[in-house]
Structure 1
Amino acid sequence: MTTAKDIMHTGAQWIYREETLDRAAQLMRELNVGALPVSDQNERLCGIITDRDIVVKCVAMGHDPASTRCAELCEGTPRWIDANADVSEVLHEMESHQVKRLPVIENKKLVGMISEVDVAQNLPDEQVAEFVEHVYAR
């Protein structure tokens, strides 16, 4: 059985919800990623912030990323997957909620992220095609 932990990208890091978007952008640059899970003070998932969120929902709206907090852009119920979940559960979660990135949690700790790149690199073409159809074609 292939699990979330088998296909995830390790080294993911939280950003605290009260950090500013400019700090989020700096951390994304340092880690060479396009998204960061956002946590509360207890390291519980509050959402995900993406580079696109920063540009479209902050900069393009005329807001200052140096004074806008990550929490201001977190919307909806955060999605995540347990590290031991079967890859079919991973795909179901991503497809049913049309998300392209999924934090991986083990023992209440962030241990990695799964992105569409991880799906494409680790799964058979048939599963990748189905994933693309469900996430991008809607």
Structure 2
Amino acid sequence: MLCQDLMKSEVETFREHDTIQQIARRMREVNIGFVPICAPDGRPVGTLTDRDIALRVCGEDLRSSATVAADVMTRETITCRETDPIERAEQLMARHHKGRMMVVDDEGHLVGVISLSDIVDEEDDDRAAETARLVSDREVRA
């Protein structure tokens, strides 16, 4: 199975200049906890999670209407290609302890997202469980 077979292609994305208030409202409306932050050309430049908002905005007592994504987003982008086998996404998720993987085309433009729950839903139980264990190891070490 390829990443393009498992990824969600309808993904909410935002730009670096969007305010945290705008992003958080949309995340609440569509009930998501993760959004890619993309450059105008569609290439991912970071990510923002509901946890990032809680710790970096609320935890620092920043005004969400005056804080933009670029100020608090995670700049590390971990991606796989849409034509990669799903095992590649699993390896990257495990190595980087990430529960979500951005999927890009050959030019580096975002085309989808794969979450750990997508893998658990589709893959055989033993392999999915091992990937989940490796991703969650970051919690044990923290």
State TM-score, norm by structure 2.
0.88
Which amino acid in 1 is paired with 2:85? D
Which amino acid in 2 is paired with 1:37? P
> Which shifted more, 124-133 or 22-31?
22-31
Give SS of 2:46's match.
Answer: strand
Structure 1 match to 2:123 = 123
Which amino acid in 2 is paired with 1:121? D
**8 A Cα contact 1:12 1:110, kept in partner:** no
Structure 1 or 2: more strand by fraction: 1
**8 A Cα contact 1:81 1:90, kept in partner:** yes
Alpha-carbon shift at residue 76 of structure 1 (Å): 4.2
State TM-score, norm by structure 1.
0.91
Alpha-carbon shift at residue 129 of structure 1 (Å): 1.3
Q: Which runs of 4+ in 1 moved over 6 A?
A: none
Instruction: Provide the C-alpha distance between the structure 2 equivalents of 1:5 and 1:32, rounded to a whole number of angstroms.
Output: 23
Which blocks of at least 5 consecutive residues in structure 1 are unaligned? none
Structure 2 match to 1:132 = 132
Aligned-residue RMSD, C-alpha: 1.5
| Alignment deviations for residues 37-88 of structure 1 (CA, whole Å, 9 cap, x no partner) | 0012332211110011111110122111111110112234311111111011
Structure 2 match to 1:18 = 17
Instruction: Provide the C-alpha distance between the structure 1 equivalents of 2:83 and 2:18, rounded to a whole number of angstroms.
Output: 30
What pairs with 1:72-87 in structure 2 (closer than 5 Å)? 72-87=71-86
| Alignment deviations for residues 90-116 of structure 1 (CA, whole Å, 9 cap, x no partner) | 101111111111111124332211111
Give SS of 2:41's match.
Answer: coil
Instruction: Provide the C-alpha distance between the structure 1 equivalents of 2:74 and 2:34, rounded to a whole number of angstroms.
Output: 14
Structure 1 match to 2:88 = 89
Count of aligned residue pairs for this structure pair: 137
Give SS of 2:62's match.
Answer: coil
* Matching of residue 106 in structure 1 with residue 109 in structure 2: no
Q: Percent same amino acid among aligned pairs?
A: 25
Structure 2 match to 1:62 = 61
Instruction: Provide the C-alpha distance between the structure 2 equivalents of 1:54 and 1:74, rounded to a whole number of angstroms.
Output: 9
